[in-house]
Structure 1
Amino acid sequence: MLFFGLRLTLVQFIGSTHETRVFYTQLLPLTTVLTISIPETVRLLNKAEALYQSDIRSLDDLVHLAKALHSLGPGFVFLRGGHLPLTRNLEVPKYDIDKEVIVDVLYDGTDVSLIKTAYINTEISQGVGYVFSSAIASQLALGEPVPLATRKACQYVETGISKGNGLINYFHSTCILPFSRGHFIEYVLNREDVKPIWEAHVHHDFVKRIGDGTLPIEKFKDYLVQDYLFLVQFARAKALSAYKSNSMEAIAAGAEEILHIQREMSLHLDYCAEFGLSRKDIEEQEEHQACTAYTRYVLDIAHSESWFGLQMAFAPCLLGYGIIARRLWDDPGTVREQGNRYWKWIQNYVADDYRAAVAAGEAILEKHAVLQSSSQIDSLVKIFVHATKMETGFWNMGNE
C-alpha cells in the first residue's frame, strides 16, 4: 500500500520528460490515497494535460477536479477544499462573513464523498497538508477503511486548528477521548460493536415495507397502538430526566420535552383515527412484550444510571426515526403520495419540528459527551446498544 501526500515542491520537481513520465505512469497508479490541495491539483493537471484553469468557482468544480485527477491512476483522491470555503448552503460566498463550511472531496472512481467541517478563520498556511497525510496514514495503519480513515483525519485536523491559537494542536485528543469534539454520535455509530446492530435497526424490513407501501395494514395499526403506549412511558422517563437535572435550564428543557411528547401524542391520535383507531381503542390495548421490555429498560436506566446515561437510552429513538425517515424520503424507490398509505408517517419525521428536535438532542449529546471520562464511554455505548436492540424489537413486532 502506497499512501502519497503530494506537495508543491514535488510537483515543481517534475521537470524532465522522463521524470514526468515515471511520475504519471508508475507512481500515481501505485498510490492508494492521494491527498492534495486545490492549487496543487490544478498545477498537477496542467502538467499532465495543460487543460485546467485555477479559477474554481463551485462545489461541482471541486468534484470535477477530483475526478480528473483520479483518471491519472490513484486508488483514492482526497481533494482538500480549504482554499474554497463555502456558505452554509454549500455555495461560494460573496463576503468573508458568509464563509462557514469546508468541503473536502474523496473520490474512488465510483463514489463521491463530501466531508464537511467547520470553516475556521486562521492564519495557518503551512503544514496542514502534512497533518492530513499523517492522520490518514495513521488511521489506515490501524486498519480503518479509507473513507472512515479520511473522515476521522478531517475531524482531527478541524479540532487541531480550532484549538491551536494560530498553530495546529496535534495533541488535542491524546489520552482523553476516542473521538473529536462535535463528532461523538458519528464515533458511536461507526464503532464495530454498534454499526451492525444500528444498520440492522435502520434498514429493518418493517421500515422498508413502510417505504414501498407493502406493510400489511393490520401490522401498521398494531404498531401505532404500541407506539402510543410507548410514548406514555417515554414521557415518564423524560420526567425522571428532568428530575435528575441540576439546573433550572435543564429542568425547564425536560419539561418542554414532555409537552412536546404530549403534542406528538395528540397528532398521533389524529393519525390513528385515519386508520379507524380511537383513543379508547388504543388505551384498552395491552402492551406488547417488546414495548414493555423497551420502556421499562429505559425507566430502569433512569433510576440506576447517570443523567447522561439516560440520554444515551433515549438516543436510538431520537436518532433512528430521523435517519430512517430521511433515507426513505430521499430514496427514489420509496412509493410516495397517494400511492403509499404510509407516506404521511414518513413526512412526520422529516418535518421541520421533528428535525429541530433531533438537532437539539444531538447538540445535547455532543455537549455532554466531551465531559465524560474515557472509561465511561464504553459503558454509555453499551446502554445505547441495548436500547437500540429494544427499539429494533418494535419493528420485529411486525414480523410476528
Structure 2
Amino acid sequence: MTDLHADAPGPIAAGSLAAELRKACASNWDAYVNHPFVRQLAAGTLETASYKHFLIQDYLFLRHFARAWMLVAYKAPDLNEMRAASQTVDALINQELQLHVETCAGWGISEAEMAATPEARANLAYTRFVLETGHSGDLLDLLVALAPCVVGYGEIGARLAADPATVWDGNPFREWLDLYSDEEFQEVGRGACAQIDRVARARIGSDVTGSPRWSELCRIFGQATRLEIGFWDMGLNRED
C-alpha cells in the first residue's frame, strides 16, 4: 500500500515507528491534521470565541500533559531518556503554556481564572486516557499515547507553513502558527519520535510491527488521535 504521508512535512521521519503508527490510522490522522478548526486558524477566519474556549481548555490540557511527560521521566530506564522527557516538559511549560497565558491576558483573563475553569468533557476524556495508559502500561505505551499531540502539532505547523493558502499577514492567530511551525517546536517533535524508536527497539527489538504488541500500540495511538479530533471539535463548537 502506498504511504500517502511519506513526504508529509513535519517531525515524523519516514520509516520511524511514528510513521508506521500514523499509517495504521491514516483516515483518523487526516481528519485530525486537516480538521476545520485547523483550516480556519490558517485562514484567520476562526471565531474568536472558539479560539478563546480552545486556548483555556488547552491550558488545562497541557498542565496534565506536562505531568504525563514527567511520568515518562519517572518510568525512564536511564538518564538519557530522562533528559529527553525533560526537554519536552520544558517546551510544554515554557513555550506552549506561555502562549496561552499571554494571549488570554490580552483578553483580560488571568491565569488564575484559566486554572479555575471546569474541564470540558473532551478534555477530561483525553487527558485521563493518557494518564491511565501511563499508569497501567509501560514506558512505550505512554510514549505512544502522547505521540499524536506532540508530533501531530508539529506536523500541522509544518503543513500550514508549507501551504500557500495559509494567511500570515494580519492573521489574528499568527502567534499560534508561528509557535508550531517554528524549528524549535519541530525539534521537540523529532526528539519525541526518536525516543519512541529507541524505547521500542530496547523493549521489542527491530521488528515492532511484526510483534505481538503491535496491535495494542496501534489501538493506543488510534484512540489518542480520535481524542485529538474530539478536542478540535470541542474548541470549534465551544463544547463544555
Give TM-score, length-normalised by structure 2.
Answer: 0.85
Q: Could you say if the C-alpha distance between residues 282 and 363 of structure 1 is closer, same or farther in structure 2, counting changes exceeding 3 Å?
A: same
Q: Look up the match of 2:44.
A: 213
Give runs of aligned pairs for residues 144-159 of structure 1, distance below 5 A.
Answer: 144-145=1-2, 148=3
Give the Cα–Cα distance (whole angstroms) in 2 for the partners of residues 254 and 325 of structure 1.
Answer: 21
Q: Look up the match of 2:73.
A: 242
Task: Say whether the 8 Å CA contact 1:328–1:334 is kept in structure 2.
Answer: yes
1:226 aligns with 2:57: yes
Give the Cα–Cα distance (whole angstroms) in 1 for the partners of residues 181 and 74 of structure 2.
Answer: 30
Q: Look up the match of 1:350.
A: 181
Task: Say whether the 8 Å CA contact 2:144–2:220 is kept in structure 1.
Answer: yes
Q: Look up the match of 2:20.
A: 187
Give the Cα–Cα distance (whole angstroms) in 2 for the partners of residues 337 and 317 of structure 1.
Answer: 27
Give the Cα–Cα distance (whole angstroms) in 1 for the partners of residues 70 and 20 of structure 2.
Answer: 28
1:301 aligns with 2:133: yes
Give the Cα–Cα distance (whole angstroms) in 1 for the partners of residues 46 and 133 of structure 2.
Answer: 33
Task: Say whether the 8 Å CA contact 1:212–1:335 is kept in structure 2.
Answer: yes
1:314 aligns with 2:161: no
Alignment-mate amino acid for residue 209 of structure 1: Q
Pairwise CA distance, 1:219: 0.5
1:376 aligns with 2:208: no
Give runs of aligned pairs for residues 104-119 of structure 1, distance below 5 A.
Answer: none
Give the Cα–Cα distance (whole angstroms) in 2 for the partners of residues 321 and 254 of structure 1.
Answer: 17
Give the Cα–Cα distance (whole angstroms) in 1 for the partners of residues 183 and 42 of structure 2.
Answer: 20
Task: Say whether the 8 Å CA contact 1:212–1:334 is kept in structure 2.
Answer: yes
1 or 2 for the larger relative contact order (CA 8 Å, sep ≥6)?
Answer: 2
Give the Cα–Cα distance (whole angstroms) in 2 for the partners of residues 322 and 253 of structure 1.
Answer: 17
Alignment-mate amino acid for residue 187 of structure 1: E
Give the Cα–Cα distance (whole angstroms) in 2 for the partners of residues 363 and 253 of structure 1.
Answer: 10
Pairwise CA distance, 1:271: 2.6
Which segment drifts farther, 209-218 or 269-278?
Answer: 269-278
Give the Cα–Cα distance (whole angstroms) in 2 for the partners of residues 222 and 257 of structure 1.
Answer: 24
Pairwise CA distance, 1:250: 2.1
Give the Cα–Cα distance (whole angstroms) in 2 for the partners of residues 367 and 228 of structure 1.
Answer: 30
1:258 aligns with 2:103: no
Alignment-mate amino acid for residue 202 of structure 1: V
Alignment-mate amino acid for residue 235 of structure 1: A
Give runs of aligned pairs for residues 44-63 of structure 1, distance below 5 A.
Answer: none
Give the Cα–Cα distance (whole angstroms) in 2 for the partners of residues 291 and 185 of structure 1.
Answer: 23
Give the Cα–Cα distance (whole angstroms) in 2 for the partners of residues 249 and 391 of structure 1.
Answer: 29
Pairwise CA distance, 1:325: 1.5
Pairwise CA distance, 1:298: 0.5
Pairwise CA distance, 1:235: 1.4
Task: Say whether the 8 Å CA contact 1:182–1:366 is kept in structure 2.
Answer: no
Pairwise CA distance, 1:273: 2.2
Q: Look up the match of 1:386.
A: 223
Alignment-mate amino acid for residue 216 of structure 2: S
Give the Cα–Cα distance (whole angstroms) in 2 for the partners of residues 243 and 234 of structure 1.
Answer: 14
Alignment-mate amino acid for residue 393 of structure 1: G
Residues 336-375 of structure 1: CA deviation (Å, up to 9, x unaligned)? 121x101221111011210110111111122233342511
Pairwise CA distance, 1:182: 4.2
Identity, in percent, stands at: 34
Give TM-score, length-normalised by structure 1.
Answer: 0.53
Give the Cα–Cα distance (whole angstroms) in 1 for the partners of residues 94 and 84 of structure 2.
Answer: 15
More helix by share: 2
Alignment-mate amino acid for residue 133 of structure 2: I
Pairwise CA distance, 1:277: 2.6
Residues 298-331 of structure 1: CA deviation (Å, up to 9, x unaligned)? 0000111110110000100011111112111221
Structure 1: state its 5+ residue gaps.
1-143, 152-180
Q: Look up the match of 2:160.
A: 328
Alignment-mate amino acid for residue 200 of structure 1: A
Q: Look up the match of 1:366.
A: 197
The 3-state SS of whatever aligns with 2:117 is: coil
Q: Look up the match of 1:95.
A: none
Residues 40-68 of structure 1: CA deviation (Å, up to 9, x unaligned)? xxxxxxxxxxxxxxxxxxxxxxxxxxxxx
**Aligned pair count?**
222
Pairwise CA distance, 1:281: 2.4
Q: Look up the match of 1:289.
A: 121
Q: Look up the match of 1:273.
A: 105
